[in-house]
Structure formats: C-alpha cells, structure tokens
Amino acid sequence: MATPSPRAPLGERIEELLAPGDPLPIVAAGDPVLRAGAAHYDGELEPALLARFVEALRVTMLAAPGVGLAAPQVGVALRIAVIEDPAPVPDEVRLARGRVPQPFRVLVNPKYEPAGPELAAFFEGCLSVPGYQAVVARHAEVRLTGEDERGRPLDEVFTGWPARIVQHETDHLDGLLYLDRAELRSLSSNRTVLERWAQPTPAEAASALDFPLP
C-alpha cells in the first residue's frame, strides 16, 4: 500500500501516491489526516498533476463504491473533494430522501451554510469508517460556495440527498467524520441496515433503538 511521504514537497508526495496506479488506498478512521483539517488549495499543483489526482479520486470513489471522496481520505490534506451519484434507487426512496442523480463534480475549497431551517435525518455511511452506518440529521438545503478544478467560482444551492453529500465531503475537509454528528444509538452494521433498517426513512429504527428524529 503506497502512502505519500509527509516530508516530501506536495507535488512529489502526490506523484508517489499516484505511482502504483488507482484506485488509491482509502485512509481509515483513526488516522490523524482525517482530523487535522485540510489546507486551502491555491494552485499548488501543476494543472496536469491536479487533473491526474482528481481522476484518481474519481476512480477510487467509484471503485469503493461511494458517492463522494475527499482528498484527506487518501492522505492528502488539501481542500479538494469529488462527488458523483447515479442514484439507482427505487422511486419511494428517491421521493423520501430527495435522492436524484448528480453528475461528476469537483469541489475546491468548498464551504456550506444552511439555505433553510429544515433538517433531514437518514442513515449515512463513510468509506473511511467501513462496515457501519448511523443516522445523521443534516440541513435539507445548503448553499455551497467554492471553486471547481479550473478555478471557476461555485455558488449553488443543493437540496435533498445531494445536500447531504456535499455536507459530508466538506466536513471531511474540516476534520469531521459523520459520526461526530450522528445519533450514536442508531449505529448499525451495514448488514443490520440492509436486513432491518432499509425503509425509505429511519422512523422504524428510531422507535426500536430509541433515538430522536428532527
């Protein structure tokens, strides 16, 4: 498993990380890089290297599989994340969760703020905390600002499940894991979620496991 040397210059460290080919190894909870907070990206990488790194993030995300991946999750403490969600879910799940397809997007230096008062709570997982899910109440609508990989400004309102994805990935860049915001009484293995809590909403789980919903 290749890991970038923490003492090498940033470009060299990313070249080391990319050298074995993708998908990249995903850092698991407990590694300090997931808690340190990521540095503001200000063009430190040559365009070609940035493009290769972004593509490696995408390949890694899709291979996992997941719908988002932040640079710290592969050991690179930069404020860069990628998202993509084909949303292959039944209509009842789509309607309950507001889960609609999202094209591939690159988020550079993203920040979010609530765009409305409503909260939505659903089971959520993380590639850096494999095997488990927990219910997280998040803003149902957020305004996301930042840039894309070409430096073009991003200022967009996300709702439903896409809002959850961008909050989750931006939290990674601030050193937060979804468990920091979760109802810990809801913590369940992936198998248990599949077998017992696969309903469109977590209402039944909240009743059985005795945790509040907004």
Annotated catalytic residue within 84, 141, 169, 183: 169
Q: Is 141 a known active-site residue?
A: no
Query: Which helix (H) or strand (E) segment is 109 a member of?
Result: strand 102-114
Angstrom CA distances, 120 to 82, 97, 132, 161, stand at 22, 8, 20, 9
The strand pairing partners of 114, in sequence order, are 142
Structure token pair of residue 35: 């808690």
Q: Name the binding residues for Fe cation.
A: 126, 168, 172
3-state class (DSSP) for residue 63 = helix
Give the C-alpha separation, 119 to 201, whole Å.
13
Burial 161-195 (b: 16+ CB within 10 A, else e): bbbbbbbbbbbbbebbbbeebbbeebbbeeeebee
3-state class (DSSP) for residue 115 = coil
Cβ neighbourhood burial of 196 (10 Å; 0-12, 13-18, 19+): middle
> What are the catalytic residues?
169
